[in-house]
Structure 1
Amino acid sequence: MKKNIPFLLALTVILACSPRKNGFVNRKYQGFTTQYNVLFNGKEALKSELTNREKSYKDNFYAPYIKLLTYEEQASASTMDNLGFTPNTEGVPPSDFFRDDAPDNSSGNTGNTAGALQVAEIKALKAIEKHSMLFNGKEKNKQIFDAYILLAKARLFQGKNLEALDAINTLKKNFPKDKRLNLAKIYEAYAYGKMGDFYQSDESFRDLKKEKLKKSDKKLLSVFYSEMLLESGKKEDAISELEDAYKFNKNKKLRSRIAFLRGQILASLGENEKARESFVTAYKNARNFEFEVKSQIEIAKTFNGKDDEYEGAKKYLENISKKGTYASRKNEFYYALGLMANKAGKKDEAQDYFKKSVKEKISDSQIRGLAYYEIGKKHFEENDYLSAGVYYDSAYAAMNYPPAKENLKSLTENIKQVSKNYYLIKKNDSILKLAKMSNDERIAYFTKHIETIKAKEAKDEMAKKKAEKNKNNKFETTDFALLNGTNNTSSFMDFSGGSKTFYFANQSTVSKGNSDFKQIWGNRALTDNWRTSTKQNSIEDLKNEALGINSAPNPRRFEPDFYIEKIPTKTEELAVLKKDRDTATLGIGRMYENFFSNTPLATKTLYDLVDSNTDEETELQALYQIFSMNYEKNPSATERAKQLILQKYPYTSYAEFVKNPKKAEFTSSDTEVLNQYAEAYKLFEEGKYEDSKKLIDEALQKYPKDVLIPKFTLLQAFNTGKTAGKEIMILQLEQLMLNYPKTSEGVKAKQMLEYLKSDLKVEQFDANGNPINPQVQAPTATQPQNNIPAKPMQKDNRIKSLQEMQQEDDPQPLRPVEPKKDK
């Protein structure tokens, strides 16, 4: 050995002096030092990051699609070019494939993530800089290929997709004929997909599929390609590619995930039968208890009640929910059974299962929320919005998947608004009803009410005494144990009935605590600053607030006079109550339509309001709402409302609206319509206003969707101004502006209204033609037609001629113009 030492030292010095020469020995030396020095450290840094991610990874089964690969697949790989690469999407625009807005811990320890990825990137760059042997544009150190792959991965994990592509392009340039080049091209296509360039990504993947690939490359390509196809919205192609991925990959855990994702896509396309088969495959290959349970739930979701045997499927799920560890997930299996019962048309049975689900011990908060939601959904479909709101409140509190929670939030808020109006109506109706009663009737009514209160309080008191007695018995048992020197090893004494159970497991204590808390604070949401929050957070709160129910009992609550004294007696007070009730009813009718699209219930509510002898303003608004939400979908329901508006309020913009409601779209004009408009305009110029009006009315009825309808309407307003007066013309212009705001006629109507209203002075005349002082008798909307001015307008109120208006605004606003051929 001593003889060889000088030779080895000399060889080392020679190699150190010329490490970059293109020689066999130099290539081997640089490759060795690259692999086992700098590059090794970079790979270890990336591997540690993947290991951290794998440990904290948790599937989000409530997103539209699960992530196909887990970080465990990468961390267990012996080399960095195996399956399982899943880039960190932080900072990258979300795609359809990763539409899981729920908090996701899959990125591991965020404090070390950036550091580990940066170390891997730096090590890769250092390996390239120090050990590259680039001669004539070709890299002679084969290990530099791995350095570029590591560099690309480290950058992709950080969301640096463009920089990753730069590394891959350099690799392709320096290794033009390397046998591993297809691996780089796979990551290149994948990076294009993450940048949103789906066309280029698809082209690259298609070209690669034509190449003769290694088995490992086929595995990687099939997984990445199916993911990209799903991101780009090509669900059918993604399904086909996932089938190839399932065939190429023999790992059962990955196969289970592929089958599960395929089932989710098929279910989104409505192919429940195929989806169910795919979920069954996912269940059979599952290597995770959570994955098994969720696969069973997805199988239930895709149950076909028409073809499948419901009883057999139900028996299977009921049996499996009782076996071993599955028993701890009964609430989830009951939820799945409820979904199956719904599909089979057994609505009542489904509700029983959902109620069982919420009573079981919770294992998944989102499932608990979904079960509450299904219960509330049934009440919602039956138009019982108040009961639905109670369950939706519970669902909202239980859910932990943000998108589902956010979707439910607006619905619960809408129901709370409806509930607030509902209980206000109920309270005011009760007061108005009591106000009409005689004193004896009131005494009888409240005596019965007091008896109900006494019975309830007696029942509550009995339950309280029973709880106190049980509590005292537990104290005595504990004292006896202490006196005998037993059970003295615990520093915290248990009063719950068991020698080794937790104190707060005592249900009676918990119930009493809840009762005391509600008595002091009321129902509060589990949110920050709950103590100072004044926000009502439940339907029960709204009910108690509207009905004036106080949790603290009043000493006079058993005296009828205590309630009778609160009943208002003044006419003004009763009028205010009725006005508030009618306004709330009008509001709740609008809410049924705007919030829930329940037009029949909204129509019935508003017609009931009209029949309750409400004031004119509220009645007119109710009739208008009935007409506007029904005239297109259900014209027969609007007939009564239309006639009432025309009879009671003929000189309002609402009357103009029901005569000619705005149309959703127009069609082009033909020669006949153009000729009719020209004729109507000619009659107007000749002063034959009634003839012009008659011709326009015919056109409005015959061509309701013609493009010239706004012009006809504007010309009709001018005719009205000449015959009926300025005030009626203003109403028609207002309606024109409301119906066709974006047309040139609608804009002109708005400009004319600004001018006409600036000097408007309404004059009223009595039956004898004498002017009425507006300060003595204000005009109302229901005055008969003979109160409309029969005398000519005063000079300051006269209608300007059409020619004058044309000169001020547009030289020829009403001339018939043939529409463009492309319209």
Structure 2
Amino acid sequence: MKGLFKYVYFLLGLFTIGACSSERNTWTSKAYHNATAHYNGYYYAKEEVRKVENTLWESLIDDYNRILRLYPELDTALAKSYDKEIQEAIKMASIAIQRHPNSKWVDDCYILVAKARLYSMDWGNAVQTLKWVNSKSKDPDARHKAIIQLVRTFTEHQEFNNAQAAIDFVEKEELTKTNRKNLLIEKAYFYQEQEDYDRMVRNLTEVAPMLKKKDKPGRIYFIIGQVYQKLGFEAEAFNFYKKCIATNPEYEVDFYARLYLAQVTEISRSKSVNAARKSFRKLLKDNKNKEFKDKIFYEMGVFELKQKNLDEAIANFNKSIREGTNRRIDGEAYLRLGEIYYDTLRKYELSQAYYDSAITSLPTDYEGYAEIKARQEILDEFVKNLNTIKWQDSLLVLAGLDSITIRTKIDSAFQAKKALADAKEGKKKRRRSNRIDITSNANSVFDTGGDDGNEETTDWYFGNLSAMSLGQSEFKRIWGNIPLEDNWRRSLRSTANQPANQNAADAPAEAQAVAAEEAAAPVDPVAAEYERIDKQIPRTEEQKKAALKQIEDAYYNLGDIYYFKLLEKDNAVITYNKLLDRFPETEYEPEILYKLYLFFKETDAAKSEVYASRLKAEHPNSTFTKILLNPDFLKESSQAVERQKTLYKKAYEEFEAEAYDSSLQTIEEAYAIGENSFTPSLDLLKILIAGETEDINKYQYLLTEFINAHNDDELGAYAKKLLETSQNFQKNQELNKGIQYIRSLEEPHYFLIVYKTEENMSLAASTALSKFNEDNFKDLKLKTSNLVLNDMYTLTLVADLPGITTALDYIKTFNEKLSTLTEFRNHKFHNFVITKDNFDIFYRTKGLDEYLKFFEKNYPAEIQ
């Protein structure tokens, strides 16, 4: 018996020795090499690749607010973490290929090498390896596997044309069931990467019956449900969410499947609605879903929005924001709220605030982010102009109130706010408020009403408890629940709460300085608010004009935003008409009349004709009138500009050659073509000729008039430089010759008070002189203004005194009543009258001492 065993062992040894040769083609050699290649090199290489795939799946953070990925995203940083496994897989597969070249596992080893190179993002070698298998392999199944893997590789590298070519090729082949399944999944991924969800879901639906447990069917069913829901096929989505739940997937997938299942439930009866709501409530009660509460409330909001229950939808979206810490879900809730207030309720101020929060919360790769950002910017612009109107109107109202009245209103408002805070403090439970505070202006302590195109109101902010409550919520959102007390700022509180043994010198120097300053002089909030507002109140005529100009521009901008960006035609018409009614001399009138003519042209011919008639009658030379009369005006004007440019070139060459008469004649020829956008260039050239042929004062006057007409364009800026150069030249000449004032006094005068700027009496002087004029020279309707003379002096000017007699009477009366004008007490200043021509010389040369000597010499002694 022992001899038999020895004989068997001897035969097995001969078999093994004979089978080890890779050159043999016997059945024993094939069996040996197939077994060894499979269970040594191929097996261990596949295990290393599996480790890499596990790492990729573990690194994937699913975003259930978007369609889940079929495969984890490849990343160069992550690839470095599994480089050891990649190299080991390539090594083991390569050994199997080299030692067992006739094995049937060689093709599979090459495919594993290609897959390892794909995961290491070595695209070129991965592609070449797969192409080699396709061209050299004699096994159709292996070639098909290689091409299917090639589809994945091209897709990951964003080479979609090559991927499509590979798909087209392999689809013509007869595939095994496994290869067919893998191809459908790769095609679905190919379409997902291109966001072609229709083709993606068709391939996934086709592959669904072929899936096995190792393919994670629950996840794929969930993805199919997501895509169908996105495409609007909610009945199909419902079926696949149910299939997903039936596979007992991992908990997070199961939760979201149940959540979305409630979303896509077919709602045909109130019973179904209640069942869906009950499903949401059940999810909320489950303690395992505690971390998902924000998402549940968000989906409840979406559900109620579909049922057109806006109040419930808004409430649920706000609960979603309160309950969670997921910025993306917060961002989507803010976005939904913004859309409700924008698209449905047309409350653009509220919408703007929610869109602002959405933009700060959503990632930049969020679907449609660019469109969301664009709408947010439109709303920002809208609210900015709306707040400009409210704020400037409020300041104009305050300009008519005395300081005591303003202080009283601010004080009563703060007392009301404190009483409201004390009342809320008495409640045992408080709910953290995440509602966005919508105030009319971040800088305003009062509200003069909204202007949304529909209504106007005027309410003092501190008299409006609702507005104050919103303001208090916003304060708490930023600063926390800080009691009403002095030195409430956090930096100071943190300093105050330091341990007693901590050295105060350890605190930052800036914090110490602030703490010391506020400890020495506690801030009175009423006084601080009064001081802040008082600085902005327009009191002089120039300041009021500036405020009104801001309101005028804001109305114009609002009208354009309503019509062109918000597509609110009716509100645009209302806003434009408000502008025309409030500012009948507005520079925007021709353009607005033309727009209103176009608005009503198709819908109300009679009203359209009214605006057209006004435009033609009131602005016959306007560009908009010309367009109204001749629709081809702009085209013809463009041609006219080109002809004028040619003549301008000729005129300028004549100007440089000092042929001024010929240059003027050419300019007149250009004028004859008609007025257009190039005409100001001709005007300026004509002024340059005047500078060479006329008196310097005439030249400077023409430049000044041109600057006034073109203050905001490039030609105006150039004219300013010309004027400045001319004035400096004239000033230098006058300094060389000595300042020469004009002795002709029989012309209109100004009355001037000149004082050192450090006296800080501009406001007091202009106020006192305005009252003096009203009391003593009311019929003359004199104007008062302040001007900076130079670095040392400022002046207050009264214009226009009709002649020398009135001027002498004015200064005499002023000197007689000076002792009663308390605003001028304890101030040093010079006062005198001066003709307009002499004022131009005085202001240009800054020759105060020279004019005082001239005044003393040429005016009666009793007024000096």
**Same fold at TM > 0.5:** yes
Q: Tell me what 1:354 maps to.
A: 317
Q: Judging changes above 3 Å, is the alpha-carbon distance between structure 1 residues 53 and 375 closer, same or farther for their aligned structure 2 residues?
A: same
Q: 1:221 aligns with which of 169, 183, 195?
A: 183
Cα root mean square deviation, aligned: 5.0
Q: How does 1:371-770 map to 2 (within 5 A)?
A: 371-381=333-343, 382-400=345-363, 402-403=365-366, 408-436=372-400, 439=402, 447-460=408-421, 511-512=481-482, 519=489, 554=524, 557=527, 567-593=537-563, 595-613=565-583, 615-620=585-590, 622-623=592-593, 642-660=612-630, 726-727=670-671, 729-731=673-675
Q: Tell me what 1:207 maps to.
A: 172
Name the structure, 1 or 2, with higher relative contact order (CA <8 Å, separation 6+).
1
Structure 1 contact 300–337 (Cα < 8 Å) conserved? no
Q: 1:131 aligns with which of 99, 120, 123?
A: 99
Instruction: Measure, in 1, the Cα distance between the counterparts of 2:672 and 2:591.
Output: 20
AA aligned to 1:121 is I
Instruction: Measure, in 2, the Cα distance between the counterparts of 1:281 and 1:556.
Output: 66
Q: Judging changes above 3 Å, is the alpha-carbon distance between structure 1 residues 567 and 393 closer, same or farther for their aligned structure 2 residues?
A: closer
Structure 2 contact 482–488 (Cα < 8 Å) conserved? no
AA aligned to 1:200 is A
AA aligned to 2:412 is E
Give the aligned length.
594
Instruction: Measure, in 2, the Cα distance between the counterparts of 1:778 and 1:617.
Output: 17
Q: Tell me what 1:116 maps to.
A: 85
Q: Tell me what 1:141 maps to.
A: 103
SS of 1:611's equivalent? helix
SS of 1:403's equivalent? coil
How far residue 248 of structure 1 moved from its aligned partner, in angstroms, is: 1.0
AA aligned to 1:420 is K
SS of 2:229's equivalent? helix
Q: Tell me what 2:848 maps to.
A: none
AA aligned to 2:527 is R
Tell me the TM-score normalized by structure 1.
0.60
Q: Tell me what 2:433 maps to.
A: none
Q: How does 1:253-272 map to 2 (within 5 A)?
A: 254-272=216-234
AA aligned to 1:344 is Q
AA aligned to 2:70 is L
SS of 2:587's equivalent? helix
How far residue 773 of structure 1 moved from its aligned partner, in angstroms, is: 11
AA aligned to 2:69 is K
Q: Tell me what 2:801 maps to.
A: none
Matched, 1:196 2:160: yes
SS of 1:512's equivalent? coil
Instruction: Measure, in 1, the Cα distance between the counterparts of 2:225 and 2:108.
Output: 36
Structure 2 contact 398–406 (Cα < 8 Å) conserved? no
- After superposition, give the CA deviation of every residue in 1:194-214 in whole Å (9 maximum; x if it has no partner): 531354233234224xx262x
How far residue 322 of structure 1 moved from its aligned partner, in angstroms, is: 1.6
Matched, 1:175 2:137: yes
**Greater CA radius of gyration, 1 or 2?**
2
Instruction: Measure, in 1, the Cα distance between the counterparts of 2:680 and 2:530.
Output: 60
Instruction: Measure, in 2, the Cα distance between the counterparts of 1:392 and 1:297.
Output: 26
Q: Tell me what 2:276 maps to.
A: 313
SS of 1:651's equivalent? coil
Structure 1 contact 252–285 (Cα < 8 Å) conserved? no
Structure 2 contact 48–89 (Cα < 8 Å) conserved? yes
SS of 2:69's equivalent? coil
Q: Judging changes above 3 Å, is the alpha-carbon distance between structure 1 residues 762 and 520 closer, same or farther for their aligned structure 2 residues?
A: farther
Q: Which moved more, 1:332-341 or 1:314-323?
A: 314-323
Q: Tell me what 1:323 maps to.
A: 286
Matched, 1:339 2:302: yes
| Structure 1: segments with no counterpart, 5+ residues | 70-85, 92-106, 134-139, 468-506, 523-551, 663-699, 701-708, 735-749, 764-771, 783-823
Instruction: Measure, in 2, the Cα distance between the counterparts of 1:518 and 1:626.
Output: 53
Instruction: Measure, in 1, the Cα distance between the counterparts of 2:606 and 2:154.
Output: 57
- After superposition, give the CA deviation of every residue in 1:380-421 in whole Å (9 maximum; x if it has no partner): 233322222333333344445742566544444443333333
How far residue 638 of structure 1 moved from its aligned partner, in angstroms, is: 6.1
Tell me the TM-score normalized by structure 2.
0.58
Instruction: Measure, in 2, the Cα distance between the counterparts of 1:643 and 1:369.
Output: 50
**Percent of residue pairs bearing the same amino acid type:** 20
Structure 1 contact 60–66 (Cα < 8 Å) conserved? yes
Q: Tell me what 2:55 maps to.
A: 52
| Structure 2: segments with no counterpart, 5+ residues | 429-476, 493-521, 648-665, 690-697, 710-864
Structure 2 contact 147–166 (Cα < 8 Å) conserved? no
Q: Tell me what 1:78 maps to.
A: none
Instruction: Measure, in 1, the Cα distance between the counterparts of 2:366 and 2:68.
Output: 15
How far residue 165 of structure 1 moved from its aligned partner, in angstroms, is: 3.8
Structure 2 contact 262–280 (Cα < 8 Å) conserved? no
SS of 2:160's equivalent? coil
SS of 2:103's equivalent? coil
Q: Which moved more, 1:1-10 or 1:325-334?
A: 1-10
- After superposition, give the CA deviation of every residue in 1:677-725 in whole Å (9 maximum; x if it has no partner): xxxxxxxxxxxxxxxxxxxxxxx9xxxxxxxx95899599999x99x98
Q: Tell me what 2:252 maps to.
A: 290
How far residue 247 of structure 1 moved from its aligned partner, in angstroms, is: 0.8
From the two aligned structures, give the one with the greater helix fraction: 2
Q: Judging changes above 3 Å, is the alpha-carbon distance between structure 1 residues 66 and 155 closer, same or farther for their aligned structure 2 residues?
A: same
AA aligned to 1:326 is N
Instruction: Measure, in 1, the Cα distance between the counterparts of 2:485 and 2:28.
Output: 84
